[in-house]
Amino acid sequence: MKTVLQYTLAFLIAFGLAILLLGGAGLLFVGAVVASASPEVPAGCILTVDFSMPVGERGGAPRPLDVFKREAPYPLPGYEIAAVLRHAATDARIKGVLLTGAVRGSPSALALARTALAELRAAKKPVLAYYGAPDERALWFGSAADELWMEPLAEVQFDGLALEIPYFGDALARYGVEVQVTRVGKYKSAVEPYLLGHMSAENREQLEAVLGDVEGALYGDIAAARAIELAQLRALARESGWLTPEQAIELGLVTRAAPYRELLARLRTITGVGADEEVPQVALRDYAADVWTNGSSRGRGVLVIVAAGEIVDGTSPHQIGGDDLARALRAARLDDSVAAVVLRVDSPGGSATASDVIRAEVLALREAQKQVIVSMGSMAASGGYWISAEADQIVAQPETLTGSIGVFGMLPNIQQLAESHGLRAEVVRTGPLAGIESFWCHKDAAQLARLQALVDRIYERFVALVAAGRHLAPERVQELAQGRVWSGRRALELGLVDELGDLTRAIALACERAHLPADAPVRYERDPSNALDEFLQQVVAERLQPLTRSLAEPLAPLAALEPLLARLRELVGRTGVVARLPFDFEVR
């Protein structure tokens, strides 16, 4: 009875929270301020921007119980942050902005916020940044501020960019996991980490080129903001690596090194409060809730649809479901208030079939005489480029990773590993090609040949659609393809994108091409948060903990490989053919 009551109570709470959280789902309109039940924004206050939670293109939603935890903020999407910062530039209640916490998340989403800071500075509202021990990313973001402060005993990490890709080939062989592959393109190295114990020369070549372009974009922004020579910054990273506060101040990278209490004194001066008074502040999320709009913009305008994550077949709450995105594009085509669509792509790619489902709706929008502008975020590669190639215009950021025109198929086999732990799967089939996607057996030559033919056909289609969309000869696309990844800057030189710029530029371009006024309504599609599902998942996970603990020791070897096998399962996809960025990486 107690368990029944507990589940009933949990369901009622989850249902109420779901209604509360789902109430704001739908389309979000930018341009007008409406009243809300958010915390009051005090007059003459500091807007505090803390990016300790990673900033992304889609943002995040609170977990069901997070609504009771004021200390657990959820990340806002980059475009919303930028819009809120621009609004603060004209809000008399805001006297200045404080950037603090970590600088984490998607570089493209952070770049939107960084660009918006210029409007605050232009409005003569001081922007201060306080990062205890800043690294390149903090220096890059903080360079847009009037003043960049740091702790006096900390050091500045300025040692260049590093990229790490784990290679599992030797470990998989040790545990008896075989990975068979089919692929097209000498640079299509997504399968490398699962086959080799080291990086190939081709992969190293493309990564060094891309990383150099990313560093150039990052350092270029810092150099422009701080009036420092780009060559000096590069030399600094190679020769010094770590800087004392005094060195950083002398170079102009940092404004001041002082304890936080001195920063508070500076903020009191800006807000005009006494030495014994608290600094009036409002957190970014609370300010967004206060000023954000609720559909009061009217008229024909631009719809921004965000496609962030891996492209998967069907529907997905956390990735780009091919059917989900196709449905959103189709709704935009049928909506008379939508004159143009900006598709914001931040994706490494994924399922080739799902990518083609999305591409078909992009073409249908164009046939309906609606402009489609692609705005590339941190990456729009492989399947991400597939869905972008036939837009009216493509706008990329200099550091965007794009291209990767290539496909592959992966066929993992865990038979040896499973049998060593007493597990075995028996297969009954009606034909020699049946069961090709099974994890439990080696694939013979006939099966591999069939999959290679499928990969070849999809690659030829990829090349053809890029040639048509970019008005390039197929032979030229073949030269640029081979699965190679390019930076946005190089993609512009090669004709794979039309211009460099951020989401704001893409929106302006959409207005121009659709013959809309510059102040036309801009709407952002937002996904509803499924609070009920998340809550029930939490409950089930807690109930299963005793069982999982009891099985942990006997199944430890399999459990150790579970994340890797899950990743392999994602890469295999529904058809076994994938158009995806040839690596997962984090630049540090």
The pairing of beta strand 485-487 with beta strand 371-381: unpaired
Is 19 contained in some domain?
Answer: no
Residue in this structure with the two tokens 């109430």, named with its chain if needed: 23
Neighbours of 151 (CB within 10 A): 16
**380 and 269 within one domain:** no
Give the H or E element holding residue 128: strand 127-130
**275 and 354 within one domain:** no
- The residue range of the domain holding 467 is 301-527
Is 57 contained in some domain?
Answer: yes
| Amino acid, single-letter form, for residue 317 | P
382 is a catalytic site residue: yes
Instruction: Please state, in angstroms and as integers, the Cα–Cα distance from residue 431 to each residue in 413, 434, 446, 493, 549, following that order.
Output: 20, 5, 12, 50, 41
The mean per-residue pLDDT over the stretch 73-96 comes to: 87
| Amino acid, single-letter form, for residue 502 | D
The mean per-residue pLDDT over the stretch 292-300 comes to: 58
Is 12 contained in some domain?
Answer: no
Structure tokens at 223: 């150099």
The residue with greater pLDDT, 92 or 445, is: 92
Residue 138 has pLDDT above 50, yes or no: yes
Residue in this structure with the two tokens 């970014």, named with its chain if needed: 284
| Amino acid, single-letter form, for residue 563 | P
**433 and 333 within one domain:** yes
Q: Over the Cα atoms of the chain, what is R_g?
A: 26
Is 552 contained in some domain?
Answer: no
Residue 103 in 3-state DSSP? strand
Q: How far apart are CA 491 and CA 502, in angstroms?
A: 15
Is 164 contained in some domain?
Answer: no
Query: Beta strands of 480-550 (E only): which ranges?
Result: 485-487, 499-500, 522-526
The pTM assigned to this predicted structure is 0.77
**492 and 409 within one domain:** yes
Residue 144 has pLDDT above 60, yes or no: yes
Catalytic residue among 143, 347, 351, 382: 382
For the chain, give the mean pLDDT: 81
Q: How far apart are CA 64 and CA 154, in angstroms?
A: 38
The residue with greater pLDDT, 411 or 321, is: 321
**340 and 442 within one domain:** yes
The mean per-residue pLDDT over the stretch 49-74 comes to: 64
Q: Which of 369, 292, 291, 319 is nearest to 523 (CA)?
A: 292
Do residues 33 and 93 lie in contact, with contact meaning Cβ atoms separated by under 8 Å?
no
Do residues 41 and 287 lie in contact, with contact meaning Cβ atoms separated by under 8 Å?
yes
Residue 88 has pLDDT above 90, yes or no: yes
What pLDDT, on a 0 to 100 scale, did the predictor assign at position 340?
97
Residue 316 has pLDDT above 60, yes or no: yes
Instruction: Please state, in angstroms and as integers, the Cα–Cα distance from residue 143 to each residue in 78, 99, 172, following that order.
Output: 18, 11, 44
Catalytic residue among 95, 125, 188, 443: 188
Residue 245 has pLDDT above 80, yes or no: yes
Angle between the 445-470 and 352-367 helix axes, to the nearest 10 degrees?
20
| pLDDT tens-place string over residues 350-400 | 888 999 999 999 999 999 999 999 999 999 999 999 999 999 999 999 989
What pLDDT, on a 0 to 100 scale, did the predictor assign at position 552?
52
Q: Which of 249, 272, 291 is the last residue of a domain?
A: 291
Q: For the chain, how many structural domains are there in total?
A: 2
Q: How far apart are CA 344 and CA 342, in angstroms?
A: 6
| pLDDT tens-place string over residues 517-560 | 988 999 888 655 444 444 555 555 555 555 555 555 555 555 55
Instruction: Please state, in angstroms and as integers, the Cα–Cα distance from residue 225 to each residue in 23, 139, 219, following that order.
Output: 42, 10, 10
Give the H or E element holding residue 508: helix 503-513
The mean per-residue pLDDT over the stretch 500-527 comes to: 91
Is 131 contained in some domain?
Answer: yes
Question: What is the CATH classification number for the domain harbouring 379?
Answer: 3.90.226.10
Bridge-partner residues for 373, per DSSP?
A: 342, 393
The mean per-residue pLDDT over the stretch 473-480 comes to: 91
**387 and 495 within one domain:** yes
Poorest-confidence range of 65-79, 278-292, 416-430, 449-463?
65-79
What pLDDT, on a 0 to 100 scale, did the predictor assign at position 241?
86
Instruction: Please state, in angstroms and as integers, the Cα–Cα distance from residue 240 to each residue in 156, 159, 336, 346, 576, following that order.
Output: 10, 7, 58, 34, 47
The residue with greater pLDDT, 111 or 40, is: 111
Q: Which of 412, 388, 390 is nearest to 402 (CA)?
A: 388
**375 and 490 within one domain:** yes
**368 and 449 within one domain:** yes
Q: Which of 479, 502, 527 is the last residue of a domain?
A: 527
Q: Which of 171, 176, 174 is nearest to 197 (CA)?
A: 171
Sheet containing 311-312, strands listed edge to edge, beginning at the edge strand earlier in sequence: 178-184, 407-413, 578-580, 349-351, 311-312, 320-321
Is 332 contained in some domain?
Answer: yes
Instruction: Please state, in angstroms and as integers, the Cα–Cα distance from residue 22 to each residue in 79, 327, 526, 536, following that order.
Output: 20, 19, 11, 16
**437 and 381 within one domain:** yes
Instruction: Please state, in angstroms and as integers, the Cα–Cα distance from residue 39 to each residue in 31, 154, 252, 406, following that order.
Output: 21, 35, 38, 50
- Candidate ranges 12-26, 312-326, 440-454; pick with highest mean pLDDT: 312-326
Angle between the 78-88 and 107-122 helix axes, to the nearest 10 degrees?
10
Give the H or E element holding residue 19: helix 2-22
Do residues 57 and 346 lie in contact, with contact meaning Cβ atoms separated by under 8 Å?
yes
**450 and 406 within one domain:** yes
Structure tokens at 353: 């079939």
| pLDDT tens-place string over residues 169-194 | 888 888 788 877 777 766 556 678 87
Confidence band, pLDDT 50/70/90 cuts, at residue 321? very high
Neighbours of 161 (CB within 10 A): 15
**354 and 483 within one domain:** yes
Structure tokens at 54: 């990673």
Give the chain's largest Cα–Cα span: 83
What pLDDT, on a 0 to 100 scale, did the predictor assign at position 454?
82
**274 and 305 within one domain:** no
Is 405 contained in some domain?
Answer: yes
The pairing of beta strand 499-500 with beta strand 393-396: parallel
Poorest-confidence range of 40-54, 252-266, 410-424, 475-489?
410-424
Q: Which of 488, 509, 527 is the last residue of a domain?
A: 527
Phi then psi for 241, rounded to 5 degrees?
85, -55
Neighbours of 400 (CB within 10 A): 32
